DNA sequence: CGCGGCACCTGAGAGC
DNA sequence: TGCTCTCAGGTGCCGC
């Protein structure tokens, strides 16, 4: 279940292997994995072949590789660079980007294979593997950012963003993230706090797991109306999200099952340090440390499970927050 | 505008 | 053993 830290682990790993390499050929083994590429497999392949990967860039959970595509030289071709396009990837629930040597047998859920130009000792194939097919690959254009800052986080940040990610807000680990802007927008919206944390247009990179962890750390209820949030509350929950995500990043990403594997094929491991998510029926660590009887409760919210402690993340009795 | 609901998917595990 | 049901969840879209 990749959230921001996992995607960043993949980004860093991938950048090392693919920067500067040319896509020699592309094989789409399951067209469902490129369904967000509206013009189909042939167009997808045509856009990628003979393009060179300039970088690997991330915004929230979206990952893209800006490409340099040259017009064919010779008759009719100028040899000049074409307008900016990028290969976009979203890992969804179970997507993996793996570097493999060609003789390694295909993975069971291999969906797309890119053959890269050879580069001393590096694996020649970039494989997109995805069991549940919530993720996918597609080609998108690059557009200027609305705030003039870099489009995303990469080795050489560009003032452009992949069109399909331009609605995604910066994440709390982004040096250009603005808490003031987040607070202003969240105050103006009438919605529940967890819903706002999961809204990638407000603040990105937070999924169900880290939303619950951040709310627990900030001692806030998931349904807290955002327009009642004090600045200190909002700061606490954003700081908590930032903390939990940088901890996970330092540990190489969270992993609960074998579905998430980073680009080098090794699972991250951070799940053991979760305080709320997945701990239904277990004592709240903060409450037990204080001698209180809090037990983590699981509830359905937004069609998914939410975990919280009824004692330290209470709902008000009188309906006033 | 906001929100609930749902579709998109597969596989693991529970229950019968 | 084998069937059916439930659950996991990021994102986008639809209708109220």
Query: Phi and psi at residue A235, in whole multiples of 5°?
Result: -65, -40
**Residue A61 annotated in active site:** yes
Per the CB < 8 A criterion, the answer to whether A271 and A248 are in contact is no
Per the CB < 8 A criterion, the answer to whether A64 and A97 are in contact is no
Q: Looking at residue A268, what is its pLDDT?
A: 47
pTM of the model: 0.91
Count the neighbouring beta carbons within 10 Å of the beta carbon of residue A217: 19
C1' of B5 to CA of A301 (Å): 12
Count the neighbouring beta carbons within 10 Å of the beta carbon of residue A198: 18
Nearest to A153 by CA among A178, A175, A182: A175
* Beta-strand relationship, A304-308 and A297-301: antiparallel
Of A248 and A158, which is predicted with more confidence?
A: A158
Burial of A77 (0-12, 13-18, 19+ CB in 10 A): exposed
**Residue A75 annotated in active site:** no
Q: What is the DSSP letter of A22?
A: B
Q: Which nucleotides of C are covered by protein (CB under 7 A)?
A: 7-12
Q: Encode pLDDT of A260-296 as tens digits.
A: 555 544 444 455 578 998 888 899 999 999 999 999 9
Q: Tokens 């807290």 label which residue?
A: A224
Measured CA to CA, the distance from residue A140 to residue A215 in angstroms comes to 35
Q: Is the dihedral of CA A207, A208, A209, A214 positive or negative?
A: positive
Q: Encode pLDDT of A203-257 as tens digits.
A: 999 989 889 999 999 999 998 999 999 999 999 999 999 998 888 888 765 544 4
């Amino acid at each position: 279940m990749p959230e921001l830290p996992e995607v960043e682990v993949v980004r860093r790993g991938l950048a090392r292997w693919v920067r500067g390499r040319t896509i020699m050929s592309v094989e789409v083994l399951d067209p469902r994995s490129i369904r967000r590429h509206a013009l189909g497999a042939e167009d997808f392949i045509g856009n990628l072949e003979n393009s060179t990967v300039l970088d690997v860039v991330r915004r929230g959970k979206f990952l893209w590789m800006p490409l340099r595509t040259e017009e064919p030289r010779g008759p009719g071709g100028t040899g000049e660079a074409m307008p900016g396009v990028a290969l976009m990837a979203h890992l969804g629930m179970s997507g993996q980007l793996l570097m493999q040597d060609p003789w390694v047998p295909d993975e069971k859920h291999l969906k797309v294979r890119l053959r890269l130009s050879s580069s001393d000792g590096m694996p020649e194939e970039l494989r997109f593997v995805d069991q549940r097919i919530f993720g996918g690959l597609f080609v998108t254009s690059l557009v200027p950012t609305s705030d003039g800052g870099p489009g995303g986080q990469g080795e050489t940040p560009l003032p452009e963003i992949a069109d399909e990610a331009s609605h995604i807000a910066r994440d709390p680990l982004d040096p250009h993230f603005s808490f003031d802007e987040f607070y202003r927008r969240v105050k103006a919206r009438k919605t529940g706090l967890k819903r706002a944390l999961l809204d990638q247009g407000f603040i990105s990179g937070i999924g169900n797991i880290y939303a619950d962890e951040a709310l627990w750390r900030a001692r806030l209820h998931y349904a807290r109306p955002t327009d009642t949030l004090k600045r200190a509350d909002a700061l606490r929950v954003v700081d908590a999200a930032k903390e939990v995500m940088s901890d996970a990043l330092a540990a190489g990403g969270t992993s609960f099952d074998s579905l998430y594997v980073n680009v080098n094929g090794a699972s991250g491991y951070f799940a053991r340090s979760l305080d709320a998510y997945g701990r239904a029926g277990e004592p709240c660590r903060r409450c037990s440390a204080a001698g209180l009887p809090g037990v983590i409760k699981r509830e359905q919210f937004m069609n998914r499970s939410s975990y919280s402690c009824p004692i330290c993340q209470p709902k008000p009795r009188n309906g006033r927050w």
